[in-house]
C-alpha cells in the first residue's frame, strides 16, 4: 500500500536558521506532493504543491524540492521565525495519505 513517512517527529532550530523537513514515500509514483501546516487545535492549511516535473518550488521563505528518483520531498523554511513553529505535513495526491507530520519549534 502507499506509504508516506516524515523522518522526524520533532525538530528544534534557532531563529534565523533554515529548517529542513523530509518526506519519503513508497509504493507510489505521485504526480505531485502537497505540504500543509497545522497549528494546535486547528485543521491543516495548504502551503505548497510541487509536481513531478518540477524540481523546486518557492513561496516567500518556503522552498520545496521533489526528487522522484529518491522518492523524496524536502521542505525548507529559510530565516525561520518563532511564528513558523507548527506541525508540517506532507501528502500524496488527493490527500488521501498524509504523513504523521514534523513538529517544528523555532527558538528565539
Binding site for other proteins (CB under 8 A): 30-32, 34, 36, 41-46, 49, 51, 89, 93-101
Asked whether the beta carbons of 66 and 33 are under 8 A apart, the reply is yes
Closest to 33 (Cα-Cα) out of 45, 44, 47, 43: 47
Provide the grid cell at 95: 490527500
Residue closer to other proteins (CB basis): 36 or 75: 36
Residue closer to other proteins (CB basis): 15 or 51: 51
Provide the grid cell at 107: 527558538
Residue closer to other proteins (CB basis): 12 or 14: 12
Q: What is the closest distance, in whole angstroms, from the C-beta atom of residue 64 to other proteins in the complex? A: 14
Amino acid at each position: 500500500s502507499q506509504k508516506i513517512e516524515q523522518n522526524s517527529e520533532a525538530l528544534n532550530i534557532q531563529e534565523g536558521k533554515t529548517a529542513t523537513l523530509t518526506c519519503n514515500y513508497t509504493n507510489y509514483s505521485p504526480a505531485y506532493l502537497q505540504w500543509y501546516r497545522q497549528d494546535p487545535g486547528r485543521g491543516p492549511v495548504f502551503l505548497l504543491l510541487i509536481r513531478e516535473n518540477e524540481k523546486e518550488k518557492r513561496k516567500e521563505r518556503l522552498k520545496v524540492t521533489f526528487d522522484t528518483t529518491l522518492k523524496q520531498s524536502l521542505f525548507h523554511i529559510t530565516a525561520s521565525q518563532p511564528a513558523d513553529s507548527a506541525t508540517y505535513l506532507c501528502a500524496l495526491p488527493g490527500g488521501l495519505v498524509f504523513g504523521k507530520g514534523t513538529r517544528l519549534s523555532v527558538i528565539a
